[in-house]
Amino acid sequence: MSKVLIESPTVITLNDSQEILSDTSIFIRDGEIVSLIPENENPPDADLVLEGKGRVALPGLVNCHTHAAMTLLRGYADDMELLPWLQQKIWPVEGKLREEDVYWGTLLAIVEMIRSGVTCLNDMYFYFEAAEKACREADIRACISGVLLGILPTAEADLEKAMHFLSERRENGSQRIVHMIAPHAPYTCPDEMLKKVIAAAEKTGVGIHTHLSETKKEVEDSLAQHGETPIAHMEKLGMFAGPPVVAAHCVWATDEEIEILAKRGVGVAHCPGSNMKLASGAAPIAKMLAAGVPLGVATDGAASNNNLDVLEEARLAALLAKVTGCDPTAVKAYEALHMATRGGAEALGLGDVIGQITPGRRGDIILLDLKRPHVWPPHDLVSHLVYAARASDVCTVLVEGRPLMIDGVLKTLDEERIMAEAAACAERLAG
Ligand SMILES: [Zn+2]
């Protein structure tokens, strides 16, 4: 039995009442948040006591869509259109990927994410077993999926392998690592393959993770090929009728499609940094929020961002919605913070597990030091977190009550070795 006490931080709970509790200790037993203890009550004994006084406790940030090992391609090809970027730069290098590249690239991503307060990532990439191994070793929470590209000659075999893996893992899986099945996108996966994926998801009960309606060209091609926009087409194929779906981007979602997403409870992973960098457009997230679409923020891969800083994505989400809507009231600070934490958890179907600091949820909690010049004076902590804070303000990170970082010191990973190994992999791939 493990008992952890975080002493007296200001707790931004993200609970239904949106409570912010000053000088409140958090008691975690066996990975679960058991109680929030006001300052005038005595806290229970604990095996590990973490100093929280003067700090802010927040549910761990959720990176709702990434390709973690693409850290190896960070800065390798910038300032290009999406399709030439994929076809001329990214896919040729990915053709040379080995399992160990994905392992070290994912570990590099995890180090960066722990340092910036991310406790849960939704990953989609090649050699997903290597990504899963990295996540297990780091003790971080993850949704893992192997990318399925219908345009590859190995598509059928890849789907078979994913199916086999999923049926095995369903029996031996841990609560911290969950799996999804990941058709890359409608424009890389023909309908016949998507139908098989949907059937596989229904059979295994695992969720689907995909890219959807990312670029204007994708929408135009879908209209020409199917007479329908991509999200409407996926609805017709039955993608949203079974297990949960999380769709990255949805930049070009129409009003009718937003209704579909809301009605079906499809989680949307909003990637403002990637969408701006690739000039894909600005997703209509103010409309999605109003319609009740489960909405999280995400970095996408480090090759199109180029960092994995979820606090920055929350800020970009708020700013991009304001400038595109010519409306400074669009996506307020609390809404952006919600997307980075509880909204992301809900978009991944983990809303009952994480996303709030409240008894019964798992102990995925971060502490930030906001006693610094760029976040001072403390008028409004939520405003500071979204509009002024930096990833480096994160000092302590817990997943399931287990410390991954305490006061800036990593507890589960060897940062120096990971950076050296990742540099060697990147050199071989793209040096
Ligand atoms: Zn992506």
Are residues 214 and 180 part of one domain? yes
Find the 7 Cα to ligand 1 centroid distance in Å.
38
Find the 171 Cα to ligand 1 centroid distance in Å.
29
How long is the chain?
431
Find the 16 Cα to ligand 1 centroid distance in Å.
31
Are residues 19 and 33 part of one domain? yes
Take residue 249 and report the two structure tokens written for it: 């981007």
Find the 243 Cα to ligand 1 centroid distance in Å.
20
CATH number reported for the structural domain that contains residue 340 in this entry: 3.20.20.140
Distance CA 310, CA 62 (A): 7
Are residues 201 and 52 part of one domain? no
Asked whether residue 149 is domain-assigned, the answer is yes
Q: What total of structural domains would you count in the chain?
A: 2
Are residues 397 and 329 part of one domain? no
Find the 126 Cα to ligand 1 centroid distance in Å.
12
Asked whether residue 91 is domain-assigned, the answer is yes
Last residue of a domain, one of 320, 347, 374: 347
Find the 65 Cα to ligand 1 centroid distance in Å.
6
Find the 223 Cα to ligand 1 centroid distance in Å.
22
Asked whether residue 419 is domain-assigned, the answer is no
Cα-trace Rg, the chain: 21
Find the 212 Cα to ligand 1 centroid distance in Å.
10
Distance CA 300, CA 283 (A): 14
Residue-wise pLDDT for 4-30, tens only, equals 999 999 999 999 999 999 999 999 999
Burial (Cβ within 10 Å: 0-12, 13-18, ≥19) of residue 171: exposed
Asked whether residue 326 is domain-assigned, the answer is yes
Asked whether residue 40 is domain-assigned, the answer is yes
Are residues 77 and 37 part of one domain? no
User: pLDDT value at position 152?
Assistant: 85
Find the 430 Cα to ligand 1 centroid distance in Å.
20
User: pLDDT value at position 173?
Assistant: 56
Are residues 126 and 8 part of one domain? no
Are residues 84 and 119 part of one domain? yes
Distance CA 57, CA 6 (A): 9
Per the listing, tokens 């999200």 go with 231
Find the 82 Cα to ligand 1 centroid distance in Å.
11
Distance CA 61, CA 191 (A): 34
Residue-wise pLDDT for 196-250, tens only, equals 999 999 988 899 999 999 999 999 999 999 999 999 999 999 999 999 999 999 9
Are residues 211 and 176 part of one domain? yes
| Contact criterion met (CB below 8 Å) for 282 and 321 | yes
Asked whether residue 418 is domain-assigned, the answer is no
Residues of the chain predicted below pLDDT 50: none
Domain that holds residue 149: 61-347
User: pLDDT value at position 413?
Assistant: 98
**Three-class secondary structure of residue 349 per DSSP:** coil
Find the 159 Cα to ligand 1 centroid distance in Å.
19
Find the 79 Cα to ligand 1 centroid distance in Å.
17
β-pair partners for 33: 28
Asked whether residue 102 is domain-assigned, the answer is yes
Q: Order of strands, edge to edge, in the sheet holding 48-51?
A: 32-38, 24-29, 3-7, 48-51
Are residues 172 and 91 part of one domain? yes
Distance CA 159, CA 190 (A): 13
Are residues 124 and 92 part of one domain? yes
User: pLDDT value at position 222?
Assistant: 98
Find the 9 Cα to ligand 1 centroid distance in Å.
35
Find the 110 Cα to ligand 1 centroid distance in Å.
17
Are residues 278 and 384 part of one domain? no
Cβ neighbours around 150 below 10 Å, total: 22
CATH number reported for the structural domain that contains residue 36 in this entry: 2.30.40.10
Are residues 39 and 149 part of one domain? no
| Contact criterion met (CB below 8 Å) for 275 and 218 | no
Distance CA 353, CA 364 (A): 9
Q: Is it true that the peptide bond before 305 is cis, omega within 30 degrees of 0? A: no
- CA angle 58/62/185 to nearest 5° reads 165
Q: Is the pTM of this model over 0.95?
A: yes
Asked whether residue 386 is domain-assigned, the answer is yes
